[in-house]
Structure 1
Amino acid sequence: MSPKAKQSTQMGKQRPKPMLRINTKNNRKRNPETSVSKSKMSFQNILRTLNTVKRTPARPYQEFIELISKTPKTATSKPLNTTTISLLSKLKPNSINLILSDPKFKCSKCLLFFNFLLKNQSFISFKIDLHAHLTLICRLLKARKFTDAEEIFKCISVDENFRYPFSVIASAAEICCLEPRVKAKLFNLMIKVYSDSESFNQVLETLDFMKSNGIQIDERTCTVHLLALNRRDEVQKGLDFFYRLLESGTKVSVYSLTVVVDGLCRSGEIKRSRELVEEMVSVGTKPNIITFNTIVDACAKRWNFPELDLILLVMEKEGVAFDIKTYQFLIDGFTSSGKVEEAERLVGEMHDKGLKVNTYSYNLIINGYCRLGSMESAHSLFRKMAERSTFQNADTYWALINGFCKVGALGLAMEYLNEMQKKGIELDNVILNILIDGLCNKGMADEAFQLQALMVKKAFNADLSGCKETVNGLSKLNQAEEANEDAGPN
């Protein structure tokens, strides 16, 4: 035996029996039987998976898919075929809810299908329930189709033939609408629909439910409700609703505040409106110029100057400056109440601030001076208008002519008439009749007659009262015959 053979025999006797090792570093060889076994297991797993897929149950409304896909997009007068009628009769409430909530169907298709079912309700063995309505409404809201959602909600909330109490709707909504964001949209939609239909108690129910259940309240929707209450002159209800909003923790906007202030002012509760503004300032809601102007206008129209002084102090404290409308409201109030000099002071203030003063404001003050007989002040302001390049219109001249006629200054009145004609400002019946009346009262019958002739020339309808005044004036001067010939029969 060779030395190598002997060494091999000795090593064979010393080596222990080999252990079965698979996929180790020291032994890369695979056991053929193990590989076959693993291959069989993998194949069986694949078969098992395929069998599982095959056994996935079909959708419970599988047979209605064709009906859904063939739903007409527009209303049709064609009668339904027997197949469609048969399918409709097989529908179940649960099937409808599953169809409407299935994301595989587009929202628009679900809406068409739903309307189709409502139109053909007589072929269905049950009445389409509240859950179906709410399921579709939530899908529409999620897709931002607010108008469609609103129309469907009206059917279940305010329609007399299909109305559910709020408590029933709210309970069903908790089941049908699980997404907090969509649920908030749904309940805010409820506020809008109830408000539009003047179901104000239901609005309060909805708001209280939202507050108790932590549903986000949309302040803009609530503002719309406040406007609806104002239109109905429900001032106290508006104020109560406003305070409920505050209690709910909703951040109330200055716009909502202004709506409530407007309602209070229109009902004459000016003091209460001012107190509300001061209250809201203390909690961090700062009123704007529109809020203040609402109160200023109310004070000026009612000549409530004590309250006016108080609200102007609040404006000053809050650093809100007058705008043109503020001045306009103040000028209107001061002139109508006889505080004409105060009104003119405001016009000067506007001019100094570079604010444009319109003709209407000047006319108010000039007319105010004329009513008081302060013709020098009226004439002075008229000249300031020209200096400040403010247009003087027919109303400006009417106020001055009327004022001068009343105090008997017919010469100045005629000067303004001539100035009007030079500027090309159209004369009218009112101005001419005022002058005729004034001239006749002063015994200036010739001048009155000339104006009467001017009226005829301009094709104005002759005022009989003016004709009579002319005749009376001419009669006093022994010119009755001439007056009767030209004035015509009375």
Structure 2
Amino acid sequence: MDNAAAISFLSDLDLNTFHLILSDPNVRSSVCFKFFNFLLKNQSLVSFNPDLQAHLALIFRLLKSRNFSGAENLFRSVLVDKNFDCPVPDIASKVEIFCDETRIKAKFFNMMLKAHSDSGNFDQVLEIFDHMKSNGIEIDERTCTVHLLALKRADKVRFSLDFLYRMVESKMKVSEYSLSVVVDGLCRSGEIKRSRELVEEMIDKGANPNVVTFNIMLNACAKRWWSEELDLVMVLMKREGVEFNANTYKILIDGFTSSGGVKEAQRLVLEMHDKGLKVEPHLYNLIINGYCRVGCTESACLMFDEMSQRNLSPNADTYSALLRGLCNDGEMAKAMEYVREMRNKGIELDGVIFNTLIDGFCKTGMIQKAHELQLLMEMKGFRADLSLCNKIAAGLCELNQITEAKKVLNVMVKRGAATELARFSSWVDIRSEEKDFL
């Protein structure tokens, strides 16, 4: 067909003929789809706009030919097109015209439910769900999971809970995925106890929560360190025979080390080894940091040694945690041994570790060592904390190293530390005069 004939054909085309073309089984659905899209892009060539019936006719043709993505995209265009007013009952009443196959109808309504859910039309989703339930149309549980995820993203926790109950009332088998989505929404809103109660309720109704469901609750408890509720979740987990996975252990170890239960965290790490689970250096770092925080540096060093025995390589965070504990306890000789070991492994000191060591030397009165580190630190492009510079300058004055103290003072001035520097500068000047006099 040449261009003139095509233009003539299109100019004579009316809506009824268009409907017949879309419904003609002798015309392939892929051809209908291309023709439909062509008309949408060239509306000026025809005297009509494709109506709802045309859209639905083509959607069902696409569904029957298993072009599900094309059908869904076309339905979305109906949903968002301002020229169409498509109440759910109106669409539902027209479905029988285009399809009498149960499977295809179910596919259409599930697609319709998902499209409205993705568009945030949550009231329409309930209408579709109720229509499907009333008419015995199979509701896809995976589609419901997608809707629950949309509700969670929209922070509609109550809506998601209500929808889950609708699913149960409809005798649907609630999957662990759907349950986990609602549990996560409840936990994020702080309703941890309610989430556990929901899981217990759903278990009684035949649901099988998995380790992901329980990890969501455990993580919420651990972050708030709600130990009583955490224990109840773990009891429920044991009762249902759900084994810990690596992520469960990580959640619990993080929680215990944050709340002072370092020994329990250490026990869990050993349990992971016994079960053959991969233990990351990060978990040792948490325990080492936990022991150092409560002043048990000896236990921290033992955990450090265990890492080597387990062929786990300490990283910069490991050394940083251990050095902080040793410096707080004034064990500077031991701290410097670890620094040498660290550097031999190719791990360089960062600003945090420099400041930790300088603070440790200042606390133990080793001002000269602190000053040497401060100079090395600045040579490497790091800056010592102003409070530490203040301690170094004061200590140097006490050692009558006034020239060096003034250099530190100049560094502080260049960094804009004006507060109390006038008073400190006068004190340095006085010490300088005393030195000259002596």
TM-score, with length taken from structure 1: 0.79
1:195-249 CA-to-partner distances (Å, cap 9, x unmatched) read: 1110111111111111111111111111111111111111111111111112222
Amino acid in structure 1 at the alignment position of 2:366: M
SS in 1 for 2:174: coil
SS in 1 for 2:25: coil
1:330 and 2:220 matched: no
Equivalent residue number for residue 442 of structure 1: 364
Q: Aligned partners of 2:371 and 2:38: how far apart in 1?
A: 81
Displacement after TM superposition at 1:91 (Å) = 3.0
Given candidates 66, 90, 97, the residue that maps to 1:144 is 66
- Mapping of 1:7-46 within 5 angstroms? none
SS in 2 for 1:162: coil
Displacement after TM superposition at 1:139 (Å) = 0.7
Equivalent residue number for residue 167 of structure 1: 89
Greater shift, 270-279 or 195-204, is seen at: 270-279
Q: Aligned partners of 1:442 and 1:409: how far apart in 2?
A: 9
Given candidates 459, 476, 488, the residue that maps to 2:398 is 476
Q: Aligned partners of 1:128 and 1:363: how far apart in 2?
A: 65
SS in 2 for 1:242: helix
Please tell me whether the aligned partners of residues 131 and 176 of structure 1 are also in contact (alpha carbons under 8 angstroms).
no
Displacement after TM superposition at 1:191 (Å) = 0.9
Q: Aligned partners of 1:243 and 1:100: how far apart in 2?
A: 40
Equivalent residue number for residue 372 of structure 1: 294
Q: Aligned partners of 2:91 and 2:344: how far apart in 1?
A: 75
Displacement after TM superposition at 1:89 (Å) = 4.2
Please tell me whether the aligned partners of residues 378 and 384 of structure 2 are also in contact (alpha carbons under 8 angstroms).
no
Please tell me whether the aligned partners of residues 374 and 384 of structure 2 are also in contact (alpha carbons under 8 angstroms).
no
Given candidates 133, 145, 158, the residue that maps to 1:211 is 133
Go from structure 1 to structure 2 and tell me whether the alpha carbon gap of 1:212 and 1:464 turns closer, same or farther (over 3 Å shift): closer
Equivalent residue number for residue 143 of structure 2: 221
Equivalent residue number for residue 35 of structure 1: none
Q: Aligned partners of 1:442 and 1:156: how far apart in 2?
A: 76
Given candidates 366, 377, 381, the residue that maps to 1:460 is 381
Given candidates 30, 37, 47, the residue that maps to 1:108 is 30
Displacement after TM superposition at 1:131 (Å) = 1.2
Please tell me whether the aligned partners of residues 261 and 294 of structure 1 are also in contact (alpha carbons under 8 angstroms).
yes
Given candidates 346, 353, 357, the residue that maps to 2:268 is 346
Greater shift, 313-322 or 190-199, is seen at: 313-322
Please tell me whether the aligned partners of residues 114 and 143 of structure 2 are also in contact (alpha carbons under 8 angstroms).
yes
Equivalent residue number for residue 434 of structure 2: none
Please tell me whether the aligned partners of residues 121 and 127 of structure 1 are also in contact (alpha carbons under 8 angstroms).
yes
Displacement after TM superposition at 1:271 (Å) = 1.3
SS in 2 for 1:427: coil
Given candidates 99, 120, 126, the residue that maps to 2:21 is 99
Please tell me whether the aligned partners of residues 158 and 194 of structure 1 are also in contact (alpha carbons under 8 angstroms).
no
RMSD over aligned CA atoms reads 2.1
Q: Aligned partners of 2:271 and 2:77: how far apart in 1?
A: 58
Question: Any stretches of 5+ residues in structure 1 without a counterpart?
Answer: 1-65, 71-79
1:191 and 2:116 matched: no
Go from structure 1 to structure 2 and tell me whether the alpha carbon gap of 1:416 and 1:172 turns closer, same or farther (over 3 Å shift): same
Displacement after TM superposition at 1:326 (Å) = 0.7
Equivalent residue number for residue 410 of structure 1: 332
Please tell me whether the aligned partners of residues 155 and 162 of structure 1 are also in contact (alpha carbons under 8 angstroms).
no
Amino acid in structure 2 at the alignment position of 1:207: F
Q: Aligned partners of 2:135 and 2:44: how far apart in 1?
A: 38
Q: Aligned partners of 1:124 and 1:423: how far apart in 2?
A: 76
Amino acid in structure 2 at the alignment position of 1:169: I
Aligned residues with identical type, % of pairs: 58
Amino acid in structure 2 at the alignment position of 1:182: I
Equivalent residue number for residue 342 of structure 2: 420
Q: Aligned partners of 2:382 and 2:241: how far apart in 1?
A: 55
Q: Aligned partners of 1:363 and 1:270: how far apart in 2?
A: 28
Given candidates 178, 182, 189, the residue that maps to 1:267 is 189
Equivalent residue number for residue 41 of structure 2: 119
Please tell me whether the aligned partners of residues 157 and 166 of structure 1 are also in contact (alpha carbons under 8 angstroms).
no
Displacement after TM superposition at 1:190 (Å) = 0.5
Equivalent residue number for residue 217 of structure 2: 295
1:239 and 2:178 matched: no
Displacement after TM superposition at 1:405 (Å) = 1.8
Go from structure 1 to structure 2 and tell me whether the alpha carbon gap of 1:291 and 1:485 turns closer, same or farther (over 3 Å shift): closer
1:395 and 2:317 matched: yes
Displacement after TM superposition at 1:109 (Å) = 0.7
Displacement after TM superposition at 1:487 (Å) = 7.4
Displacement after TM superposition at 1:442 (Å) = 2.4
Displacement after TM superposition at 1:162 (Å) = 2.4
SS in 1 for 2:26: coil
Equivalent residue number for residue 305 of structure 1: 227
Displacement after TM superposition at 1:122 (Å) = 4.2
1:451 and 2:376 matched: no
Greater shift, 91-100 or 310-319, is seen at: 91-100
Go from structure 1 to structure 2 and tell me whether the alpha carbon gap of 1:161 and 1:472 turns closer, same or farther (over 3 Å shift): farther
Displacement after TM superposition at 1:464 (Å) = 5.6
Displacement after TM superposition at 1:103 (Å) = 1.6
SS in 2 for 1:308: helix
Displacement after TM superposition at 1:456 (Å) = 4.0
TM-score, with length taken from structure 2: 0.88
Given candidates 384, 401, 405, the residue that maps to 2:306 is 384
